[in-house]
Amino acid sequence: MIFGLFRFDWTILIVLPALFVSIWAQFKVSNTYKKYSAYPTKRRMSGAAAARQILDQNGLHHVQIEHIRGHLNDHYDPRANVIRLSDAVHDSQSPAAIGVAAHEAGHAVQHAKGYVPIKLRSAIIPITRVGSVLSIPLFFIGLIVVSDYLMLAGILLYATVSLFQLVTLPVEFNASARAMKVLSTSGMLTEDEQQAARKVLTAAALTYVAALLTSLLTLLRLLVLAGGNSRRR
């Protein structure tokens, strides 16, 4: 059994499409952001100023905006009520930066309004963290020692990762929709600049689709491995 594990595992082919999609999605978001961050908007508003305006319009004066190091690692922290904007977004006056900043402000609005998918995502984060760390080791230990219980535990834990990625899609799409709605009605961006911001957010959404595909195909691979192991006994 142990020696068999060192033979070529054809099930790795199951996840290869997700790998290619992930690489393409990262390439797409990087190139799109680079293209639309190369020039300032007509109003020359920074990403931080755009986020602040959206927050204030929604009565979220208590939500702070912080400048952090990094590139496109922007996020909203609901525990601290802080939007953290990266070097590429905080002070940039490009339509790309404003689109990203508006998207993060959209997450803050989601939390404030009790948007159900984001509440669900927050609720499953603790078990998802456990699943992302322990699921694969548990499964392969179970595969080696021929324990159906360990393999099943690994599969169930990894299923929480897939659930998290599934719930993440409507959360991210909705945040982008909120961002584009306010950008189209507030006068922060011209029509051409709105199109640029939309293309950046659409490219970013592809990375979440790729993450979901990766998790689903990985889950399928675990199920195939478990099924094959049962048939060999």
What local confidence, expressed as pLDDT, does residue 1 receive?
45
Q: What is the pLDDT of residue 6?
A: 45
Is pLDDT of 66 > 80? yes
- pLDDT, one tens digit per residue, over 74-98 is 999 999 999 999 999 999 999 999 9
In this structure, the chain runs to a length of: 233
Read off the pLDDT of residues 131-149 as tens digits, 9 standing for 90 and up. 999 999 999 999 999 899 9
How is the chain split into domains, by residue range? Answer: 3-232
Average pLDDT, the chain: 93
Band of pLDDT at residue 233, cut at 50, 70 and 90? low
Question: How many C-beta neighbours within 10 Å does residue 86 have?
Answer: 20
pLDDT at 198 over 60: yes
Of 104, 172, 191, 193, the active-site residue reads 104
Confidence of residue 179 (pLDDT cuts 50, 70, 90): very high
List for the chain the helix, strand, coil content (%; round to 5). 75, 5, 25
> Which uninterrupted H or E stretch holds 67?
strand 64-67
| Residue 8: band (very low, low, confident or very high) from pLDDT cuts 50, 70, 90 | low
Query: Residue 166: what pLDDT?
Result: 97
191 is catalytic: no
The pLDDT assigned to 9 comes to: 80
Query: Regarding predicted confidence, which is higher, 233 or 223?
Result: 223
Q: List the Cα angle 161/167/173 in 5-degree steps.
A: 130
pLDDT above 70 covers a percentage of the chain that reads 94
pLDDT band at 10 (very low <50, low <70, confident <90, very high): confident
227 — pLDDT class (breaks 50, 70, 90): confident
Whether 231 has a pLDDT exceeding 80, the answer reads no
In the prediction, which pLDDT does 7 show?
Answer: 61
Q: What percentage of the chain carries pLDDT values higher than 90?
A: 89
> In this predicted structure, what is the pLDDT of residue 146?
87
Element (H, E) at 104: helix 95-113
In this prediction, residue 200 has a pLDDT band, given cuts at 50, 70 and 90, of: very high
Residue 82 is inside which H or E element, if any?
Answer: strand 82-85
Average pLDDT over residues 165-188: 96
52 CA to centre of own chain: 23
